[in-house]
Structure 1
Amino acid sequence: MAQSSTMIGGDGIYSYKKNSTLQRDGFEAAKKVINEAISKNLDIEKVLSEGSTTFAIADLGCSVGPNTFLAMQTIIETLLQLQQHHHSHLEFLVFFNDQTSNDFNTLFASLPQPRSYFAAAVPGSFYGRLFPSSSVHVAFSSSSLHWLSRVPPALQLRDSPAWNPGRIHYTGASDAVAKAYADQFEEDMEVFLKARGEEIVGGGMVIIIMPGVPDGLLTHDVGIAITFLGCILMDMVKEGVLKQDKVDTLNIPHVYPSMKQMRRAVEKNGCFEIVEMEIRNARSNLDAPIDIESAVMHLRALAEASVANHLGSHELVEELFNRALHRKALFSQMLYSAGIQIGSQLFAILKRK
């Protein structure tokens, strides 16, 4: 499968490392439930092979930090509390996974020192096998699974009902476009869960945090943000800065599933028991105003590579995001007029049967 673009690497002003506090907030909002679920549902004695003292954790879609380090240390601290009842001292091995184009240099240069685990990189798409059979005890994925493995094929055919001219996402688009995205999500989750079903030991766990929507809804604030970029691109088309075809053929491969969609995928796979699944909110204060300028910076960190690869021009990308900052009032108006709860995320903990 074709892969989505990775986040901006390095530690510059536009990097994911400097612009991923929203993703960190998503983990912080779920941290307590994760700790409780691991404590109540993970039996260290049963998941470890006889005589083994190595516990393997995989972060699927780790990016460049620092959020992955916070998540891994939190999970390990919970496991250390459980270890008090274990006969041997555990050693922890953390696999940091992302696509081959991820900035692993920045990731490993910023590894915490000292730390309570051994670290290894596993490059490659998580839409497929990454590890030997029954070798991982806990798999974690935060702010990653909403990236599809590819742009839905129907969106690339001009004679298709899902052809999406003038837009770069399914937010506000036709039912056919939304269905094409949903179908690709279903296909991707089937591959993802099949691979994890082979890699996770019996009794092991998969923890998922991703943007999600309540059942019956499609619109998510991240989708609105991407649609905002599409509006800016169309302004550039009208001014002759950009050709219409460049917008018509650009579709950001993001999807924000409902619990119904995720539950159906898990049940179809059949390898996992659903321990927890809910729609939560990543924001600690729902009444606090959104920092729109910061939101634009976050948007650039996650979307720049995808847009740049498509437009093929650094100058056009600079123009796009400069305009986005100047039009932040439009972004704010789009967010607040949508009538949705900003910061909605899908949280799931699955246990290997």
Structure 2
Amino acid sequence: MAAGAPMKGGIGTYSYANNSQRQREEYDSAKNLIKHVLIQNLDVKSLVSSGNAFTIADLGCSIGPNTFLAMENIIDGVGEKYDIQGHNPTNLEFQVFFNDRVANDFNSLFASLPVDKRYYAAGVAGSFWGRLFPDSSICVAYSSFALQWLSKIPKELVDKESPAWNKGKIHYTGRGAKKEVVGAYAAQFEQDMDAFLNARGMEIVRGGMIVILIPGVADGVVAHSSGVALTFLESNLCDMVKESNKCRKSLRKMGVSAC
């Protein structure tokens, strides 16, 4: 699927903040591995030479609370690595950049920041498919359950003359998916990831790291559990479109031009 509206803001019943338990569970299953990878791979020797400021960016942060847990875990891992290497982690000053689309509910995000946070917080609005930060300015870039959303719908999918025209569907799943549709999605994903990694390659300091959590399936797998959920959503959206079309037809008969 392609990127659309940002996650629902606020703290209401249907907000992302109250409906991101699945993402939380997946993060919980990976948090120890994330810390281990940081301890194993951060190049403290290079990072120490750049001073005591340690910058972290959460790319696709949404509105919390999952991002706050991830930032604390990263800070713990960095502190352990510095301590192991004989450097005092208490000298570090952490800066966290919370990034998401311009329309993200940053007000709710910052209103719910932990009172005991161990970092300076700043918001960076914009698309992570391009540059967001100056050269060599980020020590750890982190992204969780965000990179699976494509930057745009592949143009072939909405072209009625294209063999990849994906009429009535919002994704692909099942054994009956056309290879042209699968290929269009794969090509767009490859293009997006190339742009994402090139941008991060310029922004991350020498010795820094990028940590990515993203749902995926094995090569050649088309039918998967996430696809079932998207098919259900697809069905609901199609029903909504049909109802909207009925509304327009009825209003046109009454001489009204819009629903």
Q: Is it true that 1:101 corresponds to 2:103 in the alignment?
A: yes
- Structure 2 match to 1:207: 211
- Cα deviation for residue 234 of structure 1 reads 4.1
Q: Is it true that 1:132 corresponds to 2:134 in the alignment?
A: yes
What is the 5 A alignment of 1:1-353? 4-50=4-50, 52-84=51-83, 85-86=86-87, 89-172=91-174, 173-235=177-239, 241-243=243-245
Secondary structure of the equivalent of 1:17? helix
Pick the structure with greater CA Rg.
2
Q: Distance in 2 between matches of 1:215 and 1:82?
A: 35
TM-score for the superposition, normalised by structure 2: 0.88
State the AA in 2 paired with 1:97.
N
TM-score for the superposition, normalised by structure 1: 0.65
The number of residues matched between the two structures is 242
| Percentage identity across paired residues of the two chains | 53
State the AA in 2 paired with 1:221.
S
CA RMSD of aligned residues (A): 2.0
State the AA in 2 paired with 1:76.
I
Deviations 1:259-313 (A, max 9, x none): xxxxxxxxxxxxxxxxxxxxxxxxxxxxxxxxxxxxxxxxxxxxxxxxxxxxx98
Q: Provide structure 2 residue ranges, at least 5 long, that are not aligned to the other structure.
A: 247-257
**8 Å Cα contact 1:55/1:90 also seen in 2:** yes
State the AA in 2 paired with 1:114.
D
Secondary structure of the equivalent of 1:24? helix
**8 Å Cα contact 1:213/1:219 also seen in 2:** no
- Residues 177 and 137 of structure 1: CA distance in aligned 2, closer, same or farther (over 3 Å): same
State the AA in 2 paired with 1:177.
V
- Structure 1 match to 2:249: none
Q: Provide structure 1 residue ranges, at least 5 long, that are not aligned to the other structure.
A: 245-311, 314-353
- Structure 2 match to 1:302: none
**8 Å Cα contact 2:9/2:105 also seen in 1:** yes
- Residues 95 and 174 of structure 1: CA distance in aligned 2, closer, same or farther (over 3 Å): same
State the AA in 2 paired with 1:218.
V
Secondary structure of the equivalent of 2:16? coil
- Residues 106 and 235 of structure 1: CA distance in aligned 2, closer, same or farther (over 3 Å): closer
